[in-house]
Structure 1
Protein backbone atom coordinates (compact mmCIF):
# COMPACT_ATOMS: atom_id res chain seq x y z
CA UNK A 1 0.00 0.00 0.00
CA UNK A 2 1.31 3.44 -0.94
CA UNK A 3 0.51 6.30 1.43
CA UNK A 4 1.49 9.88 0.70
CA UNK A 5 2.34 11.76 3.89
CA UNK A 6 2.05 15.45 4.63
CA UNK A 7 5.23 17.09 5.83
CA UNK A 8 3.90 17.26 9.40
CA UNK A 9 3.14 13.55 9.50
CA UNK A 10 6.39 12.57 7.81
CA UNK A 11 8.36 14.56 10.39
CA UNK A 12 6.32 13.33 13.34
CA UNK A 13 6.48 9.68 12.35
CA UNK A 14 10.11 9.73 11.28
CA UNK A 15 9.24 7.70 8.19
CA UNK A 16 11.69 7.54 5.32
CA UNK A 17 9.92 8.68 2.17
CA UNK A 18 10.38 6.73 -1.06
CA UNK A 19 9.80 7.92 -4.64
CA UNK A 20 6.10 7.76 -5.53
CA UNK A 21 5.02 4.94 -7.85
CA UNK A 22 2.65 5.85 -10.68
CA UNK A 23 1.20 2.38 -11.33
CA UNK A 24 -0.30 1.74 -7.89
CA UNK A 25 -3.80 0.22 -7.96
CA UNK A 26 -6.33 2.88 -6.83
CA UNK A 27 -7.51 0.70 -3.92
CA UNK A 28 -3.99 0.82 -2.48
CA UNK A 29 -3.23 4.51 -3.07
CA UNK A 30 -3.91 6.67 0.00
CA UNK A 31 -2.90 9.99 1.56
CA UNK A 32 -2.54 10.68 5.31
CA UNK A 33 -2.18 13.61 7.67
CA UNK A 34 -1.70 14.13 11.41
CA UNK A 35 -4.22 16.74 12.54
CA UNK A 36 -4.47 18.86 15.66
CA UNK A 37 -7.96 18.52 17.15
CA UNK A 38 -8.03 20.83 20.15
CA UNK A 39 -7.18 24.52 20.17
CA UNK A 40 -5.73 24.28 23.69
CA UNK A 41 -2.60 22.47 24.90
CA UNK A 42 -4.11 18.99 24.72
CA UNK A 43 -1.93 16.56 22.81
CA UNK A 44 -4.54 14.09 21.59
CA UNK A 45 -4.31 14.58 17.84
CA UNK A 46 -5.96 12.67 15.01
CA UNK A 47 -4.57 10.55 12.19
CA UNK A 48 -6.69 10.78 9.06
CA UNK A 49 -6.23 8.66 5.94
CA UNK A 50 -8.00 9.12 2.60
CA UNK A 51 -8.27 6.82 -0.41
CA UNK A 52 -7.31 9.06 -3.31
CA UNK A 53 -9.68 7.70 -5.95
CA UNK A 54 -12.86 7.10 -3.91
CA UNK A 55 -12.45 9.69 -1.11
CA UNK A 56 -13.11 6.96 1.48
CA UNK A 57 -11.87 8.20 4.86
CA UNK A 58 -10.47 6.47 7.93
CA UNK A 59 -9.74 8.42 11.11
CA UNK A 60 -7.96 7.39 14.30
CA UNK A 61 -8.25 9.35 17.54
CA UNK A 62 -6.41 10.00 19.80
CA UNK A 63 -2.93 9.59 18.37
CA UNK A 64 0.21 10.85 20.07
CA UNK A 65 3.60 11.25 18.41
CA UNK A 66 5.12 8.16 20.01
CA UNK A 67 2.31 6.00 18.58
CA UNK A 68 3.13 7.02 15.01
CA UNK A 69 5.97 4.46 15.13
CA UNK A 70 3.28 1.77 14.83
CA UNK A 71 1.52 3.62 12.02
CA UNK A 72 1.49 0.60 9.67
CA UNK A 73 -0.59 -1.60 11.96
CA UNK A 74 -2.70 1.31 13.23
CA UNK A 75 -3.78 2.29 9.72
CA UNK A 76 -4.38 -1.28 8.60
CA UNK A 77 -6.52 -2.06 11.65
CA UNK A 78 -8.43 1.19 11.25
CA UNK A 79 -9.33 0.48 7.63
CA UNK A 80 -10.58 -3.00 8.56
CA UNK A 81 -12.51 -1.80 11.60
CA UNK A 82 -14.11 1.09 9.72
CA UNK A 83 -15.31 -1.28 6.99
CA UNK A 84 -16.69 -3.68 9.59
CA UNK A 85 -18.34 -0.75 11.39
CA UNK A 86 -20.46 -0.06 8.32
CA UNK A 87 -21.30 -3.78 8.14
CA UNK A 88 -19.20 -4.74 5.12
CA UNK A 89 -18.89 -8.45 4.40
CA UNK A 90 -16.06 -9.77 6.63
CA UNK A 91 -14.91 -12.04 3.79
CA UNK A 92 -14.37 -8.98 1.58
CA UNK A 93 -12.56 -7.13 4.37
CA UNK A 94 -10.27 -10.12 4.96
CA UNK A 95 -9.44 -10.40 1.26
CA UNK A 96 -8.46 -6.73 1.16
CA UNK A 97 -6.41 -6.90 4.36
CA UNK A 98 -4.51 -9.97 3.18
CA UNK A 99 -3.31 -8.06 0.13
CA UNK A 100 -1.91 -5.22 2.27
CA UNK A 101 1.37 -6.90 3.15
CA UNK A 102 3.61 -3.82 3.22
CA UNK A 103 3.52 -0.02 3.30
CA UNK A 104 5.42 2.45 1.16
CA UNK A 105 5.42 6.06 2.35
CA UNK A 106 5.92 8.85 -0.16
CA UNK A 107 5.82 12.65 -0.12
CA UNK A 108 2.39 14.18 -0.68
CA UNK A 109 2.69 16.56 -3.63
CA UNK A 110 -0.95 16.57 -4.81
CA UNK A 111 -2.48 19.86 -3.73
CA UNK A 112 -5.98 18.81 -4.77
CA UNK A 113 -5.81 15.69 -2.61
CA UNK A 114 -4.48 17.81 0.23
CA UNK A 115 -7.57 19.99 -0.09
CA UNK A 116 -9.88 16.99 0.10
CA UNK A 117 -7.95 15.66 3.08
CA UNK A 118 -8.30 18.99 4.90
CA UNK A 119 -12.03 19.08 4.16
CA UNK A 120 -12.46 15.54 5.48
CA UNK A 121 -10.40 16.31 8.58
CA UNK A 122 -12.53 19.36 9.38
CA UNK A 123 -15.70 17.26 9.16
CA UNK A 124 -14.32 14.45 11.30
CA UNK A 125 -13.00 16.84 13.96
CA UNK A 126 -16.61 17.84 14.65
CA UNK A 127 -17.40 14.16 15.09
CA UNK A 128 -14.58 13.89 17.63
CA UNK A 129 -16.04 16.87 19.49
CA UNK A 130 -19.42 15.15 19.54
CA UNK A 131 -18.17 11.69 20.55
CA UNK A 132 -15.62 12.75 23.14
CA UNK A 133 -17.41 15.94 24.25
CA UNK A 134 -14.14 17.59 25.19
CA UNK A 135 -13.37 14.87 27.71
CA UNK A 136 -10.03 13.13 27.64
CA UNK A 137 -10.44 9.47 26.73
CA UNK A 138 -9.97 7.26 29.79
CA UNK A 139 -6.90 5.06 29.56
CA UNK A 140 -6.04 6.49 26.14
CA UNK A 141 -8.37 4.11 24.31
CA UNK A 142 -7.98 4.60 20.56
CA UNK A 143 -11.15 4.96 18.48
CA UNK A 144 -10.25 3.96 14.93
CA UNK A 145 -13.77 4.18 13.46
CA UNK A 146 -14.57 7.73 14.54
CA UNK A 147 -14.57 8.99 10.94
CA UNK A 148 -16.96 6.46 9.43
CA UNK A 149 -19.91 8.86 9.09
CA UNK A 150 -17.97 11.12 6.72
CA UNK A 151 -18.17 8.36 4.12
CA UNK A 152 -21.95 8.79 3.85
CA UNK A 153 -21.58 12.40 2.62
CA UNK A 154 -21.60 13.31 -1.06
CA UNK A 155 -18.28 14.98 -1.89
CA UNK A 156 -16.36 16.07 -4.96
CA UNK A 157 -14.75 13.14 -6.74
CA UNK A 158 -11.52 13.03 -8.77
CA UNK A 159 -13.23 15.11 -11.47
CA UNK A 160 -14.17 17.88 -9.06
CA UNK A 161 -17.69 19.22 -8.54
CA UNK A 162 -18.80 17.75 -11.87
CA UNK A 163 -18.13 14.26 -10.51
CA UNK A 164 -19.67 13.99 -7.01
CA UNK A 165 -19.20 10.69 -5.19
CA UNK A 166 -20.47 9.05 -2.04
CA UNK A 167 -17.21 7.62 -0.64
CA UNK A 168 -18.49 4.43 0.95
CA UNK A 169 -20.55 3.49 -2.14
CA UNK A 170 -17.64 4.13 -4.50
CA UNK A 171 -15.07 2.36 -2.32
CA UNK A 172 -17.26 -0.71 -1.69
CA UNK A 173 -18.15 -0.99 -5.37
CA UNK A 174 -14.44 -0.95 -6.25
CA UNK A 175 -13.61 -3.52 -3.56
CA UNK A 176 -16.46 -5.83 -4.53
CA UNK A 177 -15.55 -5.63 -8.21
CA UNK A 178 -11.84 -6.20 -7.56
CA UNK A 179 -12.30 -9.31 -5.40
CA UNK A 180 -15.56 -10.65 -6.84
CA UNK A 181 -17.12 -10.80 -3.36
CA UNK A 182 -20.48 -9.38 -2.24
CA UNK A 183 -20.12 -6.11 -0.34
CA UNK A 184 -22.76 -7.25 2.17
CA UNK A 185 -23.49 -10.76 3.39
CA UNK A 186 -24.80 -11.22 6.93
CA UNK A 187 -27.68 -12.47 9.03
CA UNK A 188 -30.38 -9.83 9.43
CA UNK A 189 -33.62 -9.48 11.36
CA UNK A 190 -36.90 -8.03 10.16
CA UNK A 191 -38.60 -6.33 13.10
CA UNK A 192 -42.10 -4.94 13.52
CA UNK A 193 -42.15 -2.23 16.19
CA UNK A 194 -45.51 -0.91 17.40
CA UNK A 195 -46.20 2.08 19.63
CA UNK A 196 -49.84 1.96 20.79
CA UNK A 197 -51.12 5.50 21.24
CA UNK A 198 -54.71 4.68 22.14
CA UNK A 199 -56.25 6.51 19.17
CA UNK A 200 -53.93 4.89 16.62
CA UNK A 201 -50.67 2.94 16.38
CA UNK A 202 -47.32 4.23 15.18
CA UNK A 203 -45.65 1.30 13.40
CA UNK A 204 -42.15 0.88 11.98
CA UNK A 205 -40.98 -2.16 10.05
CA UNK A 206 -37.18 -2.46 10.08
CA UNK A 207 -34.26 -4.53 8.88
CA UNK A 208 -31.30 -4.62 11.30
CA UNK A 209 -28.14 -6.74 11.44
CA UNK A 210 -28.59 -9.74 13.74
CA UNK A 211 -25.32 -8.96 15.51
CA UNK A 212 -26.55 -5.51 16.56
CA UNK A 213 -26.42 -4.76 20.25
CA UNK A 214 -29.36 -3.28 22.15
CA UNK A 215 -27.44 -0.02 22.40
CA UNK A 216 -27.41 0.10 18.60
CA UNK A 217 -31.06 -0.94 18.39
CA UNK A 218 -31.90 1.94 20.73
CA UNK A 219 -30.24 4.34 18.25
CA UNK A 220 -32.20 2.80 15.36
CA UNK A 221 -35.52 3.15 17.19
CA UNK A 222 -34.77 6.73 18.14
CA UNK A 223 -34.22 7.55 14.47
CA UNK A 224 -37.13 5.49 13.12
CA UNK A 225 -39.62 7.10 15.51
CA UNK A 226 -38.02 10.57 15.35
CA UNK A 227 -37.44 10.73 19.10
CA UNK A 228 -34.81 13.17 20.40
CA UNK A 229 -32.89 10.77 22.67
CA UNK A 230 -33.38 13.11 25.61
CA UNK A 231 -34.79 10.63 28.16
CA UNK A 232 -33.91 7.33 29.82
CA UNK A 233 -34.85 4.00 28.28
CA UNK A 234 -34.80 0.25 28.85
CA UNK A 235 -35.75 -3.06 27.24
CA UNK A 236 -38.15 -5.49 28.96
CA UNK A 237 -38.43 -9.20 28.17
CA UNK A 238 -41.22 -11.69 28.91
CA UNK A 239 -41.08 -15.46 28.52
CA UNK A 240 -44.84 -15.68 27.96
CA UNK A 241 -46.89 -13.44 25.69
CA UNK A 242 -49.76 -11.52 27.32
CA UNK A 243 -51.60 -8.26 26.74
CA UNK A 244 -51.06 -7.51 30.43
CA UNK A 245 -47.28 -7.79 30.27
CA UNK A 246 -46.72 -4.05 29.86
CA UNK A 247 -48.13 -3.64 33.36
CA UNK A 248 -46.15 -6.50 34.91
CA UNK A 249 -42.61 -6.86 36.17
CA UNK A 250 -40.58 -8.33 33.28
CA UNK A 251 -38.67 -11.61 33.42
CA UNK A 252 -35.59 -9.62 32.41
CA UNK A 253 -34.70 -5.96 31.91
CA UNK A 254 -31.78 -4.36 30.14
CA UNK A 255 -31.28 -0.94 31.64
CA UNK A 256 -29.00 2.07 31.22
CA UNK A 257 -26.05 2.33 33.65
CA UNK A 258 -27.57 5.57 34.96
CA UNK A 259 -30.60 3.72 36.38
CA UNK A 260 -29.01 0.39 37.32
CA UNK A 261 -29.52 -0.49 40.98
CA UNK A 262 -29.16 -4.25 40.89
CA UNK A 263 -32.34 -4.55 38.81
CA UNK A 264 -31.91 -6.35 35.51
CA UNK A 265 -28.73 -6.12 33.46
CA UNK A 266 -26.88 -3.08 32.22
CA UNK A 267 -27.18 -2.51 28.47
CA UNK A 268 -23.76 -3.37 27.12
CA UNK A 269 -22.88 -5.70 24.27
CA UNK A 270 -25.88 -8.06 24.37
CA UNK A 271 -26.89 -9.01 20.84
CA UNK A 272 -30.48 -8.51 19.75
CA UNK A 273 -30.72 -11.91 18.06
CA UNK A 274 -29.87 -13.79 21.27
CA UNK A 275 -32.82 -12.29 23.13
CA UNK A 276 -35.55 -12.03 20.48
CA UNK A 277 -35.31 -15.76 19.80
CA UNK A 278 -35.70 -16.62 23.50
CA UNK A 279 -38.40 -14.24 24.76
CA UNK A 280 -41.99 -14.19 23.48
CA UNK A 281 -42.61 -10.49 24.11
CA UNK A 282 -40.20 -7.55 24.14
CA UNK A 283 -40.79 -3.89 24.92
CA UNK A 284 -38.58 -0.87 24.40
CA UNK A 285 -39.62 1.86 26.83
CA UNK A 286 -38.52 5.41 26.19
CA UNK A 287 -39.06 8.25 28.69
CA UNK A 288 -40.16 6.80 32.02
CA UNK A 289 -42.37 9.84 32.58
CA UNK A 290 -44.40 9.59 29.39
CA UNK A 291 -43.73 5.84 29.34
CA UNK A 292 -43.68 5.22 25.60
CA UNK A 293 -43.76 1.41 25.28
CA UNK A 294 -42.78 0.05 21.88
CA UNK A 295 -43.53 -3.62 21.34
CA UNK A 296 -40.82 -5.34 19.26
CA UNK A 297 -41.75 -8.43 17.25
CA UNK A 298 -39.35 -10.58 15.28
CA UNK A 299 -40.97 -11.08 11.88
CA UNK A 300 -38.26 -13.22 10.33
CA UNK A 301 -34.56 -13.99 10.29
CA UNK A 302 -32.78 -13.50 6.96
CA UNK A 303 -29.72 -15.76 6.81
CA UNK A 304 -27.87 -14.15 3.91
CA UNK A 305 -28.77 -10.51 3.53
CA UNK A 306 -26.96 -8.67 0.73
CA UNK A 307 -28.14 -5.11 1.24
CA UNK A 308 -27.32 -2.28 3.62
CA UNK A 309 -29.03 -1.88 6.95
CA UNK A 310 -30.42 -0.69 9.31
CA UNK A 311 -33.22 0.00 6.86
CA UNK A 312 -36.71 1.38 7.35
CA UNK A 313 -39.10 -0.72 5.27
CA UNK A 314 -42.35 0.92 6.33
CA UNK A 315 -43.56 3.78 8.53
CA UNK A 316 -47.20 4.21 9.58
CA UNK A 317 -48.49 6.77 12.06
CA UNK A 318 -46.87 9.89 13.45
CA UNK A 319 -44.85 9.75 16.67
CA UNK A 320 -46.17 12.03 19.47
CA UNK A 321 -44.20 15.13 20.42
CA UNK A 322 -41.80 14.71 23.32
CA UNK A 323 -43.08 15.49 26.85
CA UNK A 324 -46.75 15.54 25.84
CA UNK A 325 -47.76 13.49 28.87
CA UNK A 326 -47.83 9.91 27.67
CA UNK A 327 -50.82 8.28 25.97
CA UNK A 328 -53.47 10.17 28.03
CA UNK A 329 -51.73 13.47 27.41
CA UNK A 330 -51.37 12.73 23.70
CA UNK A 331 -55.07 11.90 23.34
CA UNK A 332 -56.02 15.19 24.99
CA UNK A 333 -53.41 17.04 22.90
CA UNK A 334 -54.84 15.52 19.68
CA UNK A 335 -58.41 16.40 20.64
CA UNK A 336 -57.47 20.02 21.27
CA UNK A 337 -55.65 20.36 17.92
CA UNK A 338 -58.65 18.84 16.13
CA UNK A 339 -60.92 21.59 17.48
CA UNK A 340 -59.93 25.13 16.47
CA UNK A 341 -62.64 26.48 18.79
CA UNK A 342 -61.11 24.86 21.85
CA UNK A 343 -60.00 27.50 24.38
CA UNK A 344 -56.50 25.95 24.54
CA UNK A 345 -56.15 25.50 20.78
CA UNK A 346 -53.78 28.42 20.11
CA UNK A 347 -51.49 27.75 23.06
CA UNK A 348 -51.38 24.03 22.22
CA UNK A 349 -50.66 24.72 18.55
CA UNK A 350 -47.84 27.06 19.56
CA UNK A 351 -46.41 24.46 21.95
CA UNK A 352 -46.57 21.79 19.21
CA UNK A 353 -44.24 23.84 17.02
CA UNK A 354 -43.38 22.01 13.81
CA UNK A 355 -45.09 18.78 14.89
CA UNK A 356 -47.77 17.58 12.47
CA UNK A 357 -50.39 14.83 13.03
CA UNK A 358 -49.50 12.90 9.88
CA UNK A 359 -46.22 11.72 8.41
CA UNK A 360 -44.81 13.56 5.43
CA UNK A 361 -44.31 11.56 2.23
CA UNK A 362 -40.55 11.46 2.76
CA UNK A 363 -41.05 10.14 6.30
CA UNK A 364 -43.08 7.21 4.96
CA UNK A 365 -40.57 6.40 2.26
CA UNK A 366 -38.31 3.33 2.74
CA UNK A 367 -34.78 4.50 3.51
CA UNK A 368 -31.47 3.76 5.14
CA UNK A 369 -31.12 4.75 8.78
CA UNK A 370 -27.74 6.38 9.28
CA UNK A 371 -26.35 6.06 12.78
Structure 2
Protein backbone atom coordinates (compact mmCIF):
# COMPACT_ATOMS: atom_id res chain seq x y z
CA UNK A 1 0.00 0.00 0.00
CA UNK A 2 1.39 3.35 -1.00
CA UNK A 3 1.05 6.25 1.45
CA UNK A 4 1.68 9.42 -0.54
CA UNK A 5 2.84 12.07 1.93
CA UNK A 6 3.17 15.81 1.61
CA UNK A 7 6.51 17.37 2.49
CA UNK A 8 5.12 18.63 5.79
CA UNK A 9 4.23 15.11 6.89
CA UNK A 10 7.54 13.68 5.69
CA UNK A 11 9.38 16.34 7.68
CA UNK A 12 7.32 15.53 10.77
CA UNK A 13 8.15 11.83 10.44
CA UNK A 14 11.78 12.68 9.60
CA UNK A 15 11.92 10.23 6.73
CA UNK A 16 13.15 10.34 3.17
CA UNK A 17 10.20 9.10 1.10
CA UNK A 18 10.79 6.31 -1.37
CA UNK A 19 9.72 6.22 -4.97
CA UNK A 20 6.22 4.86 -5.22
CA UNK A 21 5.53 2.23 -7.85
CA UNK A 22 1.88 1.37 -7.13
CA UNK A 23 -0.30 1.93 -10.20
CA UNK A 24 -3.68 0.96 -8.74
CA UNK A 25 -5.27 4.08 -7.23
CA UNK A 26 -7.33 1.94 -4.86
CA UNK A 27 -4.14 0.93 -3.05
CA UNK A 28 -2.88 4.52 -2.73
CA UNK A 29 -3.77 7.05 -0.03
CA UNK A 30 -2.69 10.69 -0.15
CA UNK A 31 -1.97 12.06 3.32
CA UNK A 32 -1.35 15.54 4.72
CA UNK A 33 -0.69 16.98 8.17
CA UNK A 34 -2.56 20.12 9.23
CA UNK A 35 -3.26 21.92 12.48
CA UNK A 36 -6.87 22.22 13.63
CA UNK A 37 -7.78 23.70 17.00
CA UNK A 38 -4.07 23.72 17.90
CA UNK A 39 -3.82 19.97 17.41
CA UNK A 40 -1.90 18.03 14.79
CA UNK A 41 -4.41 16.44 12.46
CA UNK A 42 -3.77 13.88 9.74
CA UNK A 43 -6.07 13.81 6.73
CA UNK A 44 -5.99 10.77 4.43
CA UNK A 45 -7.81 10.44 1.09
CA UNK A 46 -8.00 7.40 -1.16
CA UNK A 47 -6.67 8.21 -4.63
CA UNK A 48 -9.38 6.23 -6.41
CA UNK A 49 -12.61 7.38 -4.78
CA UNK A 50 -11.69 10.41 -2.59
CA UNK A 51 -12.96 8.58 0.48
CA UNK A 52 -11.14 9.87 3.52
CA UNK A 53 -10.56 9.63 7.24
CA UNK A 54 -9.09 11.87 9.92
CA UNK A 55 -6.77 11.37 12.90
CA UNK A 56 -6.94 14.33 15.28
CA UNK A 57 -4.68 15.14 18.21
CA UNK A 58 -1.54 13.30 17.12
CA UNK A 59 1.38 13.49 19.52
CA UNK A 60 5.10 13.16 18.87
CA UNK A 61 5.16 9.49 19.85
CA UNK A 62 2.31 8.67 17.44
CA UNK A 63 4.50 9.44 14.44
CA UNK A 64 6.87 6.67 15.49
CA UNK A 65 4.22 4.07 14.74
CA UNK A 66 2.19 5.87 12.09
CA UNK A 67 2.06 2.65 10.04
CA UNK A 68 -0.19 1.00 12.60
CA UNK A 69 -2.35 4.11 13.03
CA UNK A 70 -2.91 4.41 9.29
CA UNK A 71 -3.85 0.75 8.90
CA UNK A 72 -6.24 1.03 11.83
CA UNK A 73 -7.67 4.23 10.38
CA UNK A 74 -8.38 2.46 7.09
CA UNK A 75 -9.98 -0.45 8.95
CA UNK A 76 -12.12 1.93 10.99
CA UNK A 77 -13.43 3.90 8.04
CA UNK A 78 -14.28 0.75 6.08
CA UNK A 79 -16.02 -0.76 9.09
CA UNK A 80 -18.00 2.45 9.50
CA UNK A 81 -19.34 1.80 6.00
CA UNK A 82 -20.40 -1.70 7.14
CA UNK A 83 -18.05 -3.41 4.69
CA UNK A 84 -17.54 -7.07 5.57
CA UNK A 85 -14.53 -7.73 7.78
CA UNK A 86 -13.21 -10.47 5.50
CA UNK A 87 -13.26 -8.11 2.52
CA UNK A 88 -11.42 -5.43 4.50
CA UNK A 89 -8.70 -7.94 5.36
CA UNK A 90 -8.52 -9.10 1.73
CA UNK A 91 -8.02 -5.50 0.66
CA UNK A 92 -5.26 -4.88 3.20
CA UNK A 93 -3.50 -8.10 2.20
CA UNK A 94 -3.75 -7.30 -1.51
CA UNK A 95 -2.46 -3.77 -0.90
CA UNK A 96 0.67 -5.15 0.74
CA UNK A 97 3.13 -3.55 3.11
CA UNK A 98 2.98 0.21 3.63
CA UNK A 99 5.42 2.24 1.56
CA UNK A 100 5.81 5.97 2.16
CA UNK A 101 6.32 8.08 -0.95
CA UNK A 102 5.94 11.62 -2.21
CA UNK A 103 2.57 12.78 -3.50
CA UNK A 104 1.69 11.45 -6.96
CA UNK A 105 0.74 14.65 -8.75
CA UNK A 106 -1.33 17.83 -8.84
CA UNK A 107 -4.67 16.04 -9.28
CA UNK A 108 -4.29 14.03 -6.09
CA UNK A 109 -2.89 16.98 -4.13
CA UNK A 110 -5.91 19.09 -5.15
CA UNK A 111 -8.27 16.40 -3.84
CA UNK A 112 -6.28 16.19 -0.62
CA UNK A 113 -6.39 19.97 -0.17
CA UNK A 114 -10.15 19.88 -0.64
CA UNK A 115 -10.47 17.27 2.10
CA UNK A 116 -8.32 19.39 4.43
CA UNK A 117 -10.62 22.36 3.81
CA UNK A 118 -13.60 20.18 4.71
CA UNK A 119 -12.00 19.11 7.99
CA UNK A 120 -11.59 22.76 8.96
CA UNK A 121 -15.19 23.51 7.96
CA UNK A 122 -16.47 20.54 9.97
CA UNK A 123 -14.22 21.21 12.98
CA UNK A 124 -17.30 21.49 15.21
CA UNK A 125 -17.60 17.70 14.86
CA UNK A 126 -14.07 16.98 16.11
CA UNK A 127 -13.89 14.97 19.32
CA UNK A 128 -10.84 15.91 21.39
CA UNK A 129 -11.09 12.63 23.31
CA UNK A 130 -10.75 10.43 20.23
CA UNK A 131 -7.92 9.99 17.73
CA UNK A 132 -10.01 8.55 14.91
CA UNK A 133 -12.73 11.06 13.98
CA UNK A 134 -15.84 9.14 12.95
CA UNK A 135 -18.20 12.11 12.73
CA UNK A 136 -15.91 14.29 10.63
CA UNK A 137 -15.18 11.39 8.28
CA UNK A 138 -18.90 10.78 7.79
CA UNK A 139 -19.51 14.42 6.93
CA UNK A 140 -16.58 14.48 4.50
CA UNK A 141 -17.65 11.30 2.76
CA UNK A 142 -21.26 12.39 2.43
CA UNK A 143 -20.36 15.70 0.81
CA UNK A 144 -21.66 15.97 -2.76
CA UNK A 145 -18.91 16.11 -5.40
CA UNK A 146 -18.43 16.00 -9.16
CA UNK A 147 -16.37 13.11 -10.44
CA UNK A 148 -14.88 13.07 -13.96
CA UNK A 149 -15.76 9.36 -14.18
CA UNK A 150 -19.43 9.96 -13.36
CA UNK A 151 -22.05 11.69 -15.50
CA UNK A 152 -23.67 13.27 -12.47
CA UNK A 153 -22.75 14.42 -8.98
CA UNK A 154 -21.99 11.69 -6.47
CA UNK A 155 -20.49 11.03 -3.04
CA UNK A 156 -17.12 9.61 -1.94
CA UNK A 157 -18.84 6.80 -0.03
CA UNK A 158 -20.75 5.81 -3.19
CA UNK A 159 -17.50 5.62 -5.16
CA UNK A 160 -15.95 3.59 -2.35
CA UNK A 161 -18.77 1.04 -2.60
CA UNK A 162 -18.29 0.89 -6.37
CA UNK A 163 -14.55 0.30 -6.05
CA UNK A 164 -14.83 -2.35 -3.36
CA UNK A 165 -17.58 -4.22 -5.15
CA UNK A 166 -15.35 -4.41 -8.22
CA UNK A 167 -12.41 -5.45 -6.05
CA UNK A 168 -14.31 -8.15 -4.15
CA UNK A 169 -16.55 -9.39 -6.97
CA UNK A 170 -19.44 -9.81 -4.54
CA UNK A 171 -21.75 -7.91 -2.23
CA UNK A 172 -19.56 -6.07 0.23
CA UNK A 173 -21.94 -4.81 2.93
CA UNK A 174 -23.08 -6.80 5.92
CA UNK A 175 -25.04 -5.00 8.58
CA UNK A 176 -27.48 -5.76 11.38
CA UNK A 177 -30.03 -2.98 11.70
CA UNK A 178 -32.76 -1.81 14.03
CA UNK A 179 -36.04 -0.11 13.14
CA UNK A 180 -36.63 2.87 15.45
CA UNK A 181 -39.81 4.92 15.78
CA UNK A 182 -39.08 8.42 17.10
CA UNK A 183 -42.04 10.52 18.29
CA UNK A 184 -42.20 14.12 19.50
CA UNK A 185 -45.04 15.07 21.80
CA UNK A 186 -45.96 18.61 20.80
CA UNK A 187 -49.03 19.56 22.83
CA UNK A 188 -51.98 18.80 20.56
CA UNK A 189 -50.15 16.98 17.78
CA UNK A 190 -47.30 14.51 17.26
CA UNK A 191 -44.35 14.54 14.88
CA UNK A 192 -42.64 11.25 14.14
CA UNK A 193 -39.92 9.66 12.06
CA UNK A 194 -39.17 6.03 11.33
CA UNK A 195 -35.42 5.42 11.18
CA UNK A 196 -33.50 2.28 10.24
CA UNK A 197 -29.94 2.38 11.60
CA UNK A 198 -27.05 -0.04 12.13
CA UNK A 199 -27.40 -1.80 15.45
CA UNK A 200 -23.93 -0.78 16.66
CA UNK A 201 -24.13 3.01 16.33
CA UNK A 202 -23.25 5.18 19.32
CA UNK A 203 -25.51 7.70 21.01
CA UNK A 204 -23.46 10.47 19.40
CA UNK A 205 -24.16 8.99 15.98
CA UNK A 206 -27.85 8.59 16.83
CA UNK A 207 -27.91 12.27 17.77
CA UNK A 208 -26.52 13.20 14.35
CA UNK A 209 -29.10 10.98 12.62
CA UNK A 210 -31.95 12.62 14.54
CA UNK A 211 -30.69 16.07 13.58
CA UNK A 212 -30.81 15.04 9.93
CA UNK A 213 -34.22 13.35 9.85
CA UNK A 214 -35.96 16.18 11.73
CA UNK A 215 -34.12 18.94 9.89
CA UNK A 216 -32.49 20.27 13.05
CA UNK A 217 -29.15 22.09 13.20
CA UNK A 218 -27.66 20.70 16.43
CA UNK A 219 -27.98 24.06 18.15
CA UNK A 220 -28.73 22.59 21.59
CA UNK A 221 -27.18 20.12 23.98
CA UNK A 222 -28.61 16.62 23.96
CA UNK A 223 -29.08 13.80 26.44
CA UNK A 224 -30.37 10.22 26.26
CA UNK A 225 -32.19 8.32 28.98
CA UNK A 226 -33.10 4.63 29.04
CA UNK A 227 -36.32 3.76 30.86
CA UNK A 228 -37.40 0.36 32.12
CA UNK A 229 -40.92 -1.08 31.97
CA UNK A 230 -41.85 0.86 35.11
CA UNK A 231 -40.78 4.08 33.37
CA UNK A 232 -37.79 4.47 35.67
CA UNK A 233 -34.43 5.60 34.37
CA UNK A 234 -31.81 2.86 33.98
CA UNK A 235 -28.18 3.69 34.76
CA UNK A 236 -26.83 2.18 31.56
CA UNK A 237 -22.99 2.29 31.21
CA UNK A 238 -23.11 3.52 27.60
CA UNK A 239 -25.31 6.46 28.58
CA UNK A 240 -23.06 7.31 31.52
CA UNK A 241 -19.97 7.20 29.28
CA UNK A 242 -21.54 9.50 26.70
CA UNK A 243 -21.21 6.96 23.91
Per the alignment, do residues 207 and 105 of structure 1 end up closer, same or farther by CA in structure 2, a change over 3 Å counting?
A: same
- Give the greater-gyration-radius structure (CA): 1
Equivalent pair of 2:87/2:168 in contact (CA under 8 Å): yes
1:73 aligns with 2:62: no
Equivalent position of 1:366 in the other structure: none
Tell me the residue number matched to 1:195. Answer: 184
- Which stretch shows the higher mean deviation, 163-172 or 192-201? 192-201
Alignment-derived partner of residue 266 in structure 1: 240
Q: Pairwise mapping of residues 48-127 of structure 1 onto structure 2 (< 5 A)?
A: 48-127=43-122
- Quote the residue 1:24 is aligned against: 23
Give the total of aligned pairs: 241
In 2: Cα distance, 1:48 partner to 1:221 partner: 27
Deviations 1:98-124 (A, max 9, x none): 334401222225122112211110111
Tell me how far 1:64 sits from its aligned partner: 3.4
Gap change, CA 1:255 and 1:160, over 3 Å in 2: same
Task: Specify which structure has the bigger relative contact order, considering alpha-carbon pairs within 8 angstroms and separated by 6 or more residues.
Answer: 2
Query: Is 1:251 paired with 2:232?
Result: yes
Structure with the bigger percentage of helix: 2
Equivalent residue for 1:314? Answer: none
Unmatched 5+ residue regions in structure 1?
241-249, 258-264, 270-371
Contact 1:52-1:113 at 8 Å conserved across structures: yes
Gap runs ≥5 in structure 2: none
**Residue of structure 2 in register with 1:341 after alignment:** none
Change in Cα spacing, 1:45 to 1:160, as seen in structure 2 (3 Å) is farther
Pick closer, same or farther for the CA change 1:232–1:217 going to 2, 3 Å.
closer
Distance 1:27 1:68 in 2: 24
| 1:56 and 1:151 in contact (8 A); partners too | yes
> In the TM superposition, what are the counterparts of 1:218-229 in structure 2 within 5 Å?
218-229=207-218
8 Å CA contact 2:203, 2:224 repeated in 1: no
2:11 corresponding residue in structure 1: 11
TM-score after normalising by structure 1: 0.57
1:150 to 140, 148, 162: 140
